[in-house]
Amino acid sequence: MGNTRDEKRAALRSRLIEAAEDQIARHGIGGLKARAVTTQAGCALGALYTAFEDLDMLILHVNARTLERLGSALKSALGEGQGTPAQALQAMARAYVDFACANRALWIALFEHRLPEGVETPDWHKQDHAVLIEVLIGPLSQLRPDLAQEALVLRARTTFAAVHGVVLLALQGRFVGVPMAQLHAEVAALVETMTRGSERGQAETAR
């Protein structure tokens, strides 16, 4: 009996996650309504709050799925981009742009969702985000063997945020952003410039 109940609860949770994912993909995170999610999942409105505490927690589960897919895309690019660290960074940057373009609303939701004032992101979900930084550590440590682990992690965050900024302003269609038609080329140029600058930085430090 207990098992069947757990199974039912798990099935309800995944139906709700799938419905919320579909709603966010179609209307963006700003347009997400609990009622539309539960209608699509085929359950009562109240069921959402027993299965997930609240709509914000449901969104975190959608974001977790998006991060898992994004993480896989980055890891497989890292695998393909064998050879120089520059090639690995380029392959991952391309994969990041491709993923953001193909999953626009879900990708934006990763960075636009905010928990209510005073609510901390649960640790399990922070861990979901870690992949975005972890994949960069290998190639960066090859480029900058002079940096200690802590400095390396900071530099990985900065490198990620730099590429992210270019993709974000372009996809939001901001006036100061790069036009979509040039996005791949400009991200590639940025990564190339950062890679070259890092190699040279390392050369200068070593001198």
Beta carbon nearer to a second copy, 3 or 204: 204
- Written as one letter, the residue type at 65 is R
Q: Where are the beta strands (DSSP E) in 29-184?
A: none
Q: Which stretch binds a second copy (CB under 8 A): 7-15, 33-41, 91-99, 162-170?
A: 162-170
Residue 11 interacts with a second copy (CB under 8 A)?
Answer: no
Instruction: Give DSSP secondary structure letters for 80-101.
Output: HT-SSHHHHHHHHHHHHHHHHH
Q: Is the dihedral of CA 141, 147, 153, 156 positive or negative?
A: negative
- Contact status: 161 vs a second copy (CB under 8 A): yes
* CA pair distance 196, 102, nearest whole angstrom: 29
Report the residue number, 9 or 157, with the smaller CB distance to a second copy: 157
Is 168 a binding residue for a second copy by CB under 8 A? The answer is: yes
Interface mask toward a second copy for 20-59; x: CB under 8 A: ----------------------------------------
Nearer to a second copy, 5 or 207 (CB): 207
Residue 29 and residue 109 in contact, taking contact as beta carbons nearer than 8 Å:
yes
Query: What separation in angstroms does the CA of 29 have from each of 60, 109, 122, 146?
Result: 11, 6, 19, 42
Within 10 angstroms of residue 143's Cβ, the number of other Cβ atoms is: 25
Site string for a second copy, 109-138 (x = CB under 8 A): --x---------x----x--xx-xx-----
In the chain, beta strands by DSSP E: none
Q: Could you say whether residue 169 binds a second copy (CB under 8 A)? A: yes
Interface residues with a second copy (CB under 8 A) are 111, 121, 126, 129-130, 132-133, 154-155, 157-166, 168-170, 172, 174-178, 182, 186-187, 189-190, 192-198, 200-201
